[in-house]
Structures are given as C-alpha cells and as structure tokens.
Amino acid sequence: MKTTHEFSNTLRCYLRLGDHPELLAKAKDLWQEAQELARVLTWQCRLTRQEFEHRFAPHARSSTALQTLLESCEHVYLLAVSLGEEIGDKSHAYLKGNKPLRGYLLDRMGSYMAEETIKRLDRQLERHSLTCGERVTRRFSPGYHDFSLEVQKTFLALIADRMPGLRIGENNLLLPEKTITAVKGVFLL
C-alpha cells in the first residue's frame, strides 16, 4: 500500500511550519521523499473477547482502563500499521549528516503517515461494523494508561510473518519506529 497524501494544511499544522516560504518549499520536497520511502503495511484481526483475553494474558485483564473500554464487547479487533525501516533510517542519516531540519521533518512526516494510516484503517472498521449491526470502541494502544507495553510481544508473535523486519526493541517498543498497534472492542447495536 503506497501513500499518496497531498502536502495539506493539516500536515503543515502537524509539522508546525508556519508560513515561511522557504521552509514550506523544503518541507514539500521532503514530503515527496517521505512518501517514496514509506513501505506501508497494515494488518487486522478479529478475535472473540475470550481469545483476546487468553492471548494477551495477563496484561489484558490487569489493565483497568482496557477492561472498562471492553466492558460490553464480545469481540476485539487487533490493528497494526508499519511504514518500514526506510523513513527512520533516512531520518537518522540526515541527523548524523548534520542536516537536523531534514532529519526532524522526515521523522515527523513518518509519524504523521503512520497515524493517518491507522486512522484510515480505524474508519474502515467503523463503517464495516455499522453494516453488520455492530459498533466499535475507540482505539486503545499498548502503553496507554495501564495497558502494558509487554503486549507488543504478543502482537509481534501474531503479525511477524505479515510485517517483515518487525521486532521488539528496548522497553518493549516495536521496531521499525513508525509502527502502531491497537485494540478496538466490538459490541452489538
């Protein structure tokens, strides 16, 4: 899946660029590079609540915030988005090569792309669920509130074959850096 987002006002605001013409021109050029570097992969899976609790034990049950969110849910969607290594590698190369603005902007553009991609996946699930007479909860990611980042190991076990190069880094953070995982509960209307 390739991104084809325009350089929008939303992105400009996200990057906090203001109205400086030279800065905007550089950012637009870099945006093209960011899109060429992105190797967008998405994954989703639907589990029964019981399957979810079993696979993500003991962390799913020990998270009060997650249990509250999933209170009336019989199913759970698992979501993942990754942009691959290239954006992070290039961003780090710019930083090491004494081009901090390019490194910073490319890193932020990668974050923006990953977030926009998971939002798009989220909206698709919401629309699909409505056609099935269901509703979904908001997204809830490992590391939010009391939902342990250790569950990233479970996500990795489930999706490693679908997202080559995905691995666990320090403090249970997924690598590549621009990777997002999330849980969404499903309940009947």
Is the confidence at residue 3, as pLDDT, over 70?
A: no
Yes or no: say if 27 and 12 are a contact pair by the CB < 8 Å rule: yes
18 φ/ψ sector (left φ>0, alpha ψ -120 to 50, else beta): left
The per-residue pLDDT for range 102-131, each reduced to its tens digit, is 999 999 999 999 999 999 999 999 999 999
User: Can you count the helices (H) and strands (E) in the chain?
Assistant: 8, 6
Distance (Å, rounded) from C-alpha 38 to C-alpha 15? Answer: 18
Helix, strand, or coil (residue 8):
coil
Q: Model confidence over 144-156: pLDDT tens digits?
A: 999 999 999 999 9
Q: What tokens were used for 54?
A: 């079993």
Q: What pLDDT, in 10s, does the model give residues 20-75?
A: 888 888 899 999 999 999 999 999 999 999 999 999 999 999 999 999 999 999 99
Residue 1, pLDDT > 60, answer no
**The two structure tokens encoding residue 91:** 């961003």
Give the model's pLDDT for residue 143. Answer: 96
Distance separating alpha carbons of residues 183 and 47, to the nearest angstrom? 10
- CA distances to 16, 58, 97, 107 from 13, rounded to whole Å, are 5, 40, 26, 15
Domain 9-188 class in CATH: alpha beta
Backbone angles phi and psi of 146, in degrees to 5? -110, 20
**At residue 5, does pLDDT exceed 80?**
no
**Rounded percentage of the chain residues whose pLDDT exceeds 70:** 97
Q: Which amino acid appears at position 19 of this protein?
A: D
Cα–Cα distance, 151 to 43 (Å, whole number): 16
Cross-strand partners of 117: none
Of 6-20, 75-89, 105-119, 150-164, the poorest mean pLDDT is in 6-20
Question: Does an H or E element contain 177, and which?
Answer: none
